[in-house]
Structure 1
Amino acid sequence: MSLFPELDVPPSDRLFFGIFPPSPVAEAIAGRARDLKGGLGLSGAPLTPDRFHVTLHHIGDYAGLPRGIVAQALEAGEAASSAAPFEATFDQAASFNNRGNNPFVLQGGEGLAELHAFQKALGLAMAHAGLGKQVARQFNPHVTLLYDRALAPETPTAPVSWTVSEFVLIHSLLGQTRHVVLGRWPLKG
Protein backbone atom coordinates (compact mmCIF):
# COMPACT_ATOMS: atom_id res chain seq x y z
CA MET A 1 0.00 0.00 0.00
CA SER A 2 1.33 3.39 -1.00
CA LEU A 3 1.90 6.22 1.45
CA PHE A 4 0.66 8.59 -1.28
CA PRO A 5 -2.39 6.97 -2.91
CA GLU A 6 -3.06 10.13 -4.96
CA LEU A 7 0.17 9.38 -6.84
CA ASP A 8 -1.09 5.93 -7.82
CA VAL A 9 -3.84 7.25 -10.09
CA PRO A 10 -3.50 5.61 -13.50
CA PRO A 11 -2.86 7.92 -16.45
CA SER A 12 -5.97 9.09 -18.26
CA ASP A 13 -4.51 11.72 -20.55
CA ARG A 14 -1.73 11.69 -23.15
CA LEU A 15 -0.10 14.69 -24.80
CA PHE A 16 1.77 14.50 -28.08
CA PHE A 17 2.77 16.54 -31.09
CA GLY A 18 1.72 14.96 -34.36
CA ILE A 19 0.89 15.36 -38.00
CA PHE A 20 -2.27 14.04 -39.62
CA PRO A 21 -2.66 13.35 -43.33
CA PRO A 22 -5.37 15.26 -45.20
CA SER A 23 -8.65 13.33 -45.59
CA PRO A 24 -8.04 12.09 -49.17
CA VAL A 25 -4.62 10.76 -48.15
CA ALA A 26 -6.06 9.17 -45.00
CA GLU A 27 -8.63 7.39 -47.20
CA ALA A 28 -5.82 6.17 -49.47
CA ILE A 29 -3.95 4.91 -46.40
CA ALA A 30 -7.10 3.05 -45.30
CA GLY A 31 -7.24 1.34 -48.69
CA ARG A 32 -3.56 0.43 -48.43
CA ALA A 33 -4.18 -1.00 -44.94
CA ARG A 34 -7.00 -3.23 -46.25
CA ASP A 35 -4.90 -4.43 -49.19
CA LEU A 36 -1.84 -5.16 -47.06
CA LYS A 37 -3.92 -6.87 -44.38
CA GLY A 38 -5.38 -9.27 -46.94
CA GLY A 39 -2.11 -9.81 -48.78
CA LEU A 40 -0.17 -10.59 -45.61
CA GLY A 41 -2.87 -12.62 -43.86
CA LEU A 42 -3.31 -10.26 -40.93
CA SER A 43 -6.55 -10.34 -38.94
CA GLY A 44 -6.54 -7.05 -36.98
CA ALA A 45 -9.11 -4.37 -37.79
CA PRO A 46 -7.59 -1.35 -39.57
CA LEU A 47 -7.80 1.93 -37.70
CA THR A 48 -10.31 4.47 -38.97
CA PRO A 49 -8.88 7.13 -41.31
CA ASP A 50 -9.28 9.91 -38.72
CA ARG A 51 -6.86 8.04 -36.42
CA PHE A 52 -3.95 7.88 -38.90
CA HIS A 53 -1.12 10.13 -37.75
CA VAL A 54 2.61 10.40 -37.16
CA THR A 55 3.67 11.10 -33.58
CA LEU A 56 6.49 13.65 -33.59
CA HIS A 57 7.04 13.80 -29.82
CA HIS A 58 5.20 11.91 -27.08
CA ILE A 59 5.14 14.48 -24.29
CA GLY A 60 3.75 12.18 -21.61
CA ASP A 61 0.88 10.31 -19.99
CA TYR A 62 -0.78 11.99 -17.02
CA ALA A 63 -3.63 11.62 -14.54
CA GLY A 64 -5.40 14.79 -15.60
CA LEU A 65 -4.26 17.48 -17.98
CA PRO A 66 -1.16 19.30 -16.64
CA ARG A 67 -1.78 22.97 -17.50
CA GLY A 68 1.85 24.00 -17.06
CA ILE A 69 3.10 21.37 -19.49
CA VAL A 70 0.34 22.27 -21.96
CA ALA A 71 1.44 25.93 -21.78
CA GLN A 72 5.07 24.95 -22.44
CA ALA A 73 3.99 22.74 -25.37
CA LEU A 74 1.92 25.57 -26.86
CA GLU A 75 4.96 27.85 -26.61
CA ALA A 76 7.12 25.24 -28.36
CA GLY A 77 4.53 24.72 -31.08
CA GLU A 78 4.39 28.43 -31.83
CA ALA A 79 8.20 28.61 -32.02
CA ALA A 80 8.43 25.64 -34.42
CA SER A 81 5.71 26.94 -36.76
CA SER A 82 8.19 29.07 -38.70
CA ALA A 83 9.31 25.95 -40.61
CA ALA A 84 8.36 25.54 -44.26
CA PRO A 85 5.86 22.91 -45.46
CA PHE A 86 7.53 19.69 -46.64
CA GLU A 87 6.79 16.37 -48.34
CA ALA A 88 6.54 13.09 -46.44
CA THR A 89 6.55 9.79 -48.33
CA PHE A 90 5.86 6.38 -46.80
CA ASP A 91 6.74 3.40 -49.01
CA GLN A 92 7.17 0.37 -46.73
CA ALA A 93 5.01 -1.54 -44.29
CA ALA A 94 6.13 -3.73 -41.38
CA SER A 95 5.19 -4.87 -37.90
CA PHE A 96 6.76 -3.68 -34.67
CA ASN A 97 7.14 -6.53 -32.17
CA ASN A 98 5.08 -5.59 -29.12
CA ARG A 99 4.60 -9.07 -27.63
CA GLY A 100 1.25 -9.94 -29.15
CA ASN A 101 -0.36 -6.53 -29.74
CA ASN A 102 1.89 -5.73 -32.69
CA PRO A 103 1.45 -2.44 -34.54
CA PHE A 104 1.51 -2.89 -38.30
CA VAL A 105 2.73 0.41 -39.75
CA LEU A 106 3.66 2.42 -42.82
CA GLN A 107 7.29 3.56 -42.77
CA GLY A 108 9.64 5.20 -45.20
CA GLY A 109 13.22 5.86 -46.06
CA GLU A 110 14.72 8.82 -47.88
CA GLY A 111 11.26 10.31 -48.41
CA LEU A 112 11.14 11.19 -44.71
CA ALA A 113 14.36 13.24 -44.46
CA GLU A 114 12.49 16.54 -44.11
CA LEU A 115 10.16 15.00 -41.53
CA HIS A 116 13.21 13.99 -39.48
CA ALA A 117 14.58 17.54 -39.73
CA PHE A 118 11.26 19.06 -38.62
CA GLN A 119 10.94 16.65 -35.69
CA LYS A 120 14.43 17.66 -34.55
CA ALA A 121 13.62 21.38 -34.86
CA LEU A 122 10.42 20.88 -32.85
CA GLY A 123 12.50 19.08 -30.20
CA LEU A 124 14.81 22.10 -29.94
CA ALA A 125 11.78 24.39 -29.53
CA MET A 126 10.47 22.05 -26.81
CA ALA A 127 13.81 22.21 -24.98
CA HIS A 128 13.78 26.04 -25.15
CA ALA A 129 10.25 26.01 -23.69
CA GLY A 130 11.32 23.84 -20.74
CA LEU A 131 10.27 20.45 -22.11
CA GLY A 132 13.77 19.10 -22.77
CA LYS A 133 13.10 15.89 -20.82
CA GLN A 134 10.14 15.12 -23.09
CA VAL A 135 12.11 15.40 -26.34
CA ALA A 136 12.26 12.07 -28.16
CA ARG A 137 15.89 11.03 -28.56
CA GLN A 138 15.07 8.51 -31.28
CA PHE A 139 12.51 8.95 -34.02
CA ASN A 140 11.11 6.21 -36.24
CA PRO A 141 8.33 7.97 -38.17
CA HIS A 142 5.40 5.73 -38.94
CA VAL A 143 1.64 5.62 -39.40
CA THR A 144 -0.01 2.77 -37.48
CA LEU A 145 -2.47 0.93 -39.73
CA LEU A 146 -3.72 -1.80 -37.38
CA TYR A 147 -2.74 -4.02 -34.46
CA ASP A 148 -2.35 -7.78 -34.88
CA ARG A 149 -1.09 -10.82 -33.02
CA ALA A 150 0.94 -11.84 -36.06
CA LEU A 151 4.14 -10.17 -37.19
CA ALA A 152 4.40 -9.12 -40.84
CA PRO A 153 7.78 -8.75 -42.55
CA GLU A 154 8.98 -5.49 -44.07
CA THR A 155 7.03 -5.13 -47.33
CA PRO A 156 7.54 -2.51 -50.03
CA THR A 157 4.32 -0.72 -50.93
CA ALA A 158 3.22 1.92 -53.41
CA PRO A 159 4.26 5.29 -51.97
CA VAL A 160 1.80 7.35 -49.95
CA SER A 161 2.80 11.03 -49.89
CA TRP A 162 1.45 14.34 -48.74
CA THR A 163 2.65 17.86 -48.15
CA VAL A 164 2.87 18.43 -44.42
CA SER A 165 1.52 21.95 -44.00
CA GLU A 166 0.60 21.90 -40.29
CA PHE A 167 1.21 20.08 -37.04
CA VAL A 168 -0.89 19.75 -33.90
CA LEU A 169 -0.70 19.31 -30.15
CA ILE A 170 -3.07 16.49 -29.22
CA HIS A 171 -4.73 15.62 -25.94
CA SER A 172 -5.54 11.92 -26.25
CA LEU A 173 -8.08 10.55 -23.79
CA LEU A 174 -6.58 7.15 -23.01
CA GLY A 175 -8.86 4.21 -23.63
CA GLN A 176 -11.48 6.36 -25.35
CA THR A 177 -9.91 6.62 -28.84
CA ARG A 178 -10.54 10.37 -28.74
CA HIS A 179 -8.14 13.08 -29.84
CA VAL A 180 -8.70 16.70 -28.81
CA VAL A 181 -6.65 19.31 -30.66
CA LEU A 182 -5.15 21.76 -28.15
CA GLY A 183 -3.00 23.62 -30.67
CA ARG A 184 -2.74 23.75 -34.45
CA TRP A 185 0.07 25.48 -36.32
CA PRO A 186 0.27 26.02 -40.07
CA LEU A 187 3.86 25.83 -41.28
CA LYS A 188 4.76 29.38 -42.34
CA GLY A 189 8.22 29.12 -43.86
Structure 2
Amino acid sequence: MPEQLWLPGLEAPSAPTDGLFFAVYPDANTAAGIAKFAQQLCVEARARSGVRGKPLAANRLHVTLRHLGNFAGGLPADVVEAAKRAAAAVSMAPFTVEFDAVASFAKRPRLGPAVLVGEHGVHGLQALHDALEAGLRDDGIEPDARFTPHMTLAYGMQWIERHTAAAACWNVREFALMHSLLGRTRHIVLARWPLVGPS
Protein backbone atom coordinates (compact mmCIF):
# COMPACT_ATOMS: atom_id res chain seq x y z
CA MET A 1 0.00 0.00 0.00
CA PRO A 2 1.49 3.39 -0.92
CA GLU A 3 2.40 5.67 1.93
CA GLN A 4 -0.06 8.52 2.52
CA LEU A 5 1.59 11.86 1.89
CA TRP A 6 0.47 15.04 3.68
CA LEU A 7 1.09 18.48 2.27
CA PRO A 8 2.02 21.28 4.69
CA GLY A 9 -1.11 23.07 5.86
CA LEU A 10 -3.40 20.29 4.61
CA GLU A 11 -3.27 17.97 7.61
CA ALA A 12 -6.52 16.31 8.54
CA PRO A 13 -8.43 18.49 11.03
CA SER A 14 -8.69 17.24 14.58
CA ALA A 15 -12.05 15.86 15.67
CA PRO A 16 -14.06 18.20 17.92
CA THR A 17 -13.86 17.30 21.60
CA ASP A 18 -15.65 20.19 23.32
CA GLY A 19 -18.90 22.06 22.71
CA LEU A 20 -20.17 25.37 24.09
CA PHE A 21 -23.80 26.43 24.36
CA PHE A 22 -26.33 28.44 26.36
CA ALA A 23 -29.23 26.48 27.83
CA VAL A 24 -32.18 26.52 30.17
CA TYR A 25 -33.15 23.50 32.26
CA PRO A 26 -36.51 22.40 33.65
CA ASP A 27 -36.89 21.97 37.39
CA ALA A 28 -36.36 18.46 38.75
CA ASN A 29 -40.06 17.52 38.98
CA THR A 30 -40.79 18.73 35.45
CA ALA A 31 -37.70 16.97 34.11
CA ALA A 32 -38.78 13.70 35.74
CA GLY A 33 -42.21 13.93 34.12
CA ILE A 34 -40.73 14.71 30.70
CA ALA A 35 -38.24 11.84 31.01
CA LYS A 36 -41.10 9.45 31.78
CA PHE A 37 -42.96 10.72 28.72
CA ALA A 38 -39.83 10.24 26.56
CA GLN A 39 -39.48 6.64 27.75
CA GLN A 40 -43.12 5.96 26.90
CA LEU A 41 -42.61 7.50 23.46
CA CYS A 42 -39.75 5.07 22.84
CA VAL A 43 -41.79 2.10 24.07
CA GLU A 44 -44.61 3.02 21.68
CA ALA A 45 -42.19 3.51 18.77
CA ARG A 46 -40.62 0.10 19.38
CA ALA A 47 -44.04 -1.60 19.52
CA ARG A 48 -45.13 0.21 16.34
CA SER A 49 -42.04 -0.16 14.16
CA GLY A 50 -39.36 -2.06 16.05
CA VAL A 51 -37.18 1.06 16.30
CA ARG A 52 -35.26 1.27 19.58
CA GLY A 53 -35.06 4.98 20.36
CA LYS A 54 -32.78 6.29 23.08
CA PRO A 55 -34.66 8.49 25.57
CA LEU A 56 -32.72 11.20 27.39
CA ALA A 57 -32.31 10.90 31.13
CA ALA A 58 -34.00 13.57 33.26
CA ASN A 59 -30.71 15.30 34.11
CA ARG A 60 -29.87 15.69 30.39
CA LEU A 61 -33.12 17.39 29.35
CA HIS A 62 -32.61 21.02 28.37
CA VAL A 63 -33.38 23.68 25.79
CA THR A 64 -30.38 24.90 23.82
CA LEU A 65 -30.71 28.68 23.49
CA ARG A 66 -27.60 29.24 21.38
CA HIS A 67 -24.94 26.82 20.23
CA LEU A 68 -21.56 28.57 20.10
CA GLY A 69 -19.55 25.86 18.39
CA ASN A 70 -17.65 22.59 18.70
CA PHE A 71 -13.90 22.77 19.15
CA ALA A 72 -10.91 20.45 19.18
CA GLY A 73 -8.65 20.35 22.23
CA GLY A 74 -10.66 22.51 24.62
CA LEU A 75 -12.77 25.65 24.57
CA PRO A 76 -11.27 28.87 23.19
CA ALA A 77 -11.00 31.39 26.04
CA ASP A 78 -12.00 34.33 23.84
CA VAL A 79 -15.30 32.70 22.84
CA VAL A 80 -16.07 31.77 26.45
CA GLU A 81 -15.39 35.33 27.60
CA ALA A 82 -17.50 36.80 24.78
CA ALA A 83 -20.34 34.50 25.79
CA LYS A 84 -20.08 35.57 29.42
CA ARG A 85 -20.17 39.26 28.45
CA ALA A 86 -23.26 38.70 26.31
CA ALA A 87 -24.99 36.83 29.14
CA ALA A 88 -24.17 39.49 31.72
CA ALA A 89 -25.85 42.11 29.50
CA VAL A 90 -29.20 40.27 29.41
CA SER A 91 -32.00 42.00 31.31
CA MET A 92 -35.16 39.89 31.43
CA ALA A 93 -37.72 38.89 34.00
CA PRO A 94 -38.43 35.20 34.69
CA PHE A 95 -40.98 33.70 32.31
CA THR A 96 -43.02 30.55 31.83
CA VAL A 97 -42.25 28.12 29.02
CA GLU A 98 -44.78 25.61 27.72
CA PHE A 99 -44.23 22.86 25.18
CA ASP A 100 -47.47 21.28 24.00
CA ALA A 101 -46.60 19.14 20.98
CA VAL A 102 -44.25 16.39 19.85
CA ALA A 103 -42.48 16.64 16.52
CA SER A 104 -39.63 15.05 14.64
CA PHE A 105 -36.30 16.50 13.59
CA ALA A 106 -35.74 13.38 11.46
CA LYS A 107 -35.92 13.51 7.69
CA ARG A 108 -37.67 10.60 6.06
CA PRO A 109 -36.57 7.83 5.93
CA ARG A 110 -33.70 8.52 8.33
CA LEU A 111 -33.85 8.14 12.08
CA GLY A 112 -33.45 11.29 14.16
CA PRO A 113 -34.52 13.13 17.32
CA ALA A 114 -38.06 13.34 18.65
CA VAL A 115 -38.61 16.73 20.30
CA LEU A 116 -41.07 18.79 22.32
CA VAL A 117 -42.15 22.01 20.61
CA GLY A 118 -44.67 24.78 21.23
CA GLU A 119 -46.28 27.88 19.80
CA HIS A 120 -47.30 30.71 22.13
CA GLY A 121 -45.63 29.12 25.15
CA VAL A 122 -42.11 29.50 23.75
CA HIS A 123 -42.05 33.28 23.18
CA GLY A 124 -39.92 33.80 26.30
CA LEU A 125 -37.29 31.41 24.96
CA GLN A 126 -37.23 33.30 21.68
CA ALA A 127 -36.80 36.61 23.50
CA LEU A 128 -33.94 35.24 25.61
CA HIS A 129 -32.24 33.81 22.52
CA ASP A 130 -32.57 37.18 20.75
CA ALA A 131 -31.10 39.04 23.75
CA LEU A 132 -28.09 36.71 23.82
CA GLU A 133 -27.72 36.97 20.05
CA ALA A 134 -27.59 40.76 20.25
CA GLY A 135 -24.85 40.66 22.88
CA LEU A 136 -22.83 38.11 20.94
CA ARG A 137 -23.13 40.15 17.74
CA ASP A 138 -21.81 43.22 19.55
CA ASP A 139 -18.79 41.14 20.55
CA GLY A 140 -18.07 40.00 16.99
CA ILE A 141 -19.62 36.51 17.17
CA GLU A 142 -21.23 35.52 13.89
CA PRO A 143 -25.05 35.67 14.11
CA ASP A 144 -27.11 32.48 13.97
CA ALA A 145 -30.80 33.01 13.33
CA ARG A 146 -31.60 29.27 13.08
CA PHE A 147 -33.40 28.95 16.39
CA THR A 148 -36.41 26.69 16.84
CA PRO A 149 -37.28 26.42 20.55
CA HIS A 150 -37.42 22.71 21.36
CA MET A 151 -36.40 20.06 23.86
CA THR A 152 -34.95 16.79 22.59
CA LEU A 153 -36.71 13.77 24.09
CA ALA A 154 -35.02 10.84 22.36
CA TYR A 155 -32.57 10.01 19.60
CA GLY A 156 -32.82 7.34 16.91
CA MET A 157 -36.55 7.83 16.33
CA GLN A 158 -38.48 7.47 13.08
CA TRP A 159 -40.12 10.51 11.55
CA ILE A 160 -43.49 11.31 13.13
CA GLU A 161 -46.23 13.76 12.29
CA ARG A 162 -46.38 16.71 14.69
CA HIS A 163 -49.13 16.13 17.24
CA THR A 164 -50.34 17.60 20.50
CA ALA A 165 -49.11 16.22 23.82
CA ALA A 166 -49.71 16.90 27.49
CA ALA A 167 -48.12 20.27 28.19
CA ALA A 168 -44.67 20.42 29.76
CA CYS A 169 -44.53 23.72 31.60
CA TRP A 170 -42.11 25.38 34.02
CA ASN A 171 -40.86 28.77 35.15
CA VAL A 172 -37.50 29.82 33.70
CA ARG A 173 -35.61 31.77 36.36
CA GLU A 174 -32.05 31.40 35.07
CA PHE A 175 -29.96 30.30 32.11
CA ALA A 176 -26.52 28.73 31.93
CA LEU A 177 -23.39 28.55 29.80
CA MET A 178 -22.56 24.88 29.27
CA HIS A 179 -19.41 22.99 28.33
CA SER A 180 -20.24 19.74 26.54
CA LEU A 181 -17.68 16.93 26.57
CA LEU A 182 -18.53 15.58 23.14
CA GLY A 183 -19.16 11.87 22.91
CA ARG A 184 -19.04 11.47 26.68
CA THR A 185 -22.64 12.53 27.46
CA ARG A 186 -21.40 14.99 30.06
CA HIS A 187 -22.26 18.68 30.46
CA ILE A 188 -20.40 21.02 32.79
CA VAL A 189 -21.94 24.29 33.99
CA LEU A 190 -19.46 27.13 33.39
CA ALA A 191 -21.70 29.92 34.73
CA ARG A 192 -25.32 30.72 35.54
CA TRP A 193 -27.23 34.00 35.31
CA PRO A 194 -30.54 34.71 37.07
CA LEU A 195 -33.35 36.43 35.20
CA VAL A 196 -34.00 39.53 37.28
CA GLY A 197 -34.77 42.23 34.72
CA PRO A 198 -37.99 44.23 34.29
CA SER A 199 -41.03 42.31 33.14
Q: TM-score, normalised by structure 2?
A: 0.87
Q: Indicate the percent of aligned positions where both proteins have the same amino acid.
A: 41
**Over residues 40-97 of structure 1, what are the superposed CA-to-partner deviations in whole Å (9 max), with x where a residue is unaligned?**
44521211111111111110111121011111111111111x2111111000001112
Distance 2:183 2:121 in 1: 33
| 2:83 is equivalent to residue 73 of structure 1 | yes
Which stretches in structure 1 are left out of the alignment for 5+ residues? none
Instruction: After the TM superposition, list the runs of 4 or more consecutive aligned residues in structure 1 that deviate by more than 4 angstroms.
Output: none
Distance 1:170 1:91 in 2: 26
Q: 1:89 aligns with which of 67, 85, 98?
A: 98
Shift of 1:2: 4.8
Which stretches in structure 2 are left out of the alignment for 5+ residues? 1-5
Call closer, same or farther: CA 1:2–1:47 in 2, change over 3 Å. Answer: farther
Distance 1:13 1:142 in 2: 22
Aligned to 2:69: 60
Match of 1:33, as an amino acid? A
Aligned to 2:3: none
Aligned to 2:188: 180
Distance 1:21 1:2 in 2: 49
Task: Pick the structure with more helix per residue.
Answer: 1
Root-mean-square deviation (Å): 1.7
Aligned to 1:29: 34
**Over residues 154-184 of structure 1, what are the superposed CA-to-partner deviations in whole Å (9 max), with x where a residue is unaligned?**
1210101011100011110110011011110
Match of 2:27, as an amino acid? P
Q: 2:21 aligns with which of 16, 21, 40?
A: 16
Distance 1:141 1:149 in 2: 19
Q: TM-score, normalised by structure 1?
A: 0.91
| 2:13 is equivalent to residue 3 of structure 1 | no
Aligned to 2:52: 43
Q: 1:114 aligns with which of 124, 131, 134?
A: 124
What number of residue pairs does the alignment pair up? Answer: 186
Q: For structure 1, which segment, 28-37 or 96-105, has the greater mean C-alpha deviation from structure 2 after superposition?
A: 96-105
- Which structure has the bigger radius of gyration? 2
Shift of 1:32: 1.5
Map residues 128-167 of structure 1 onto 2, 5 A cutoff: 128-131=138-141, 133=142, 135-167=143-175
Distance 2:59 2:138 in 1: 31
Distance 1:100 1:2 in 2: 37
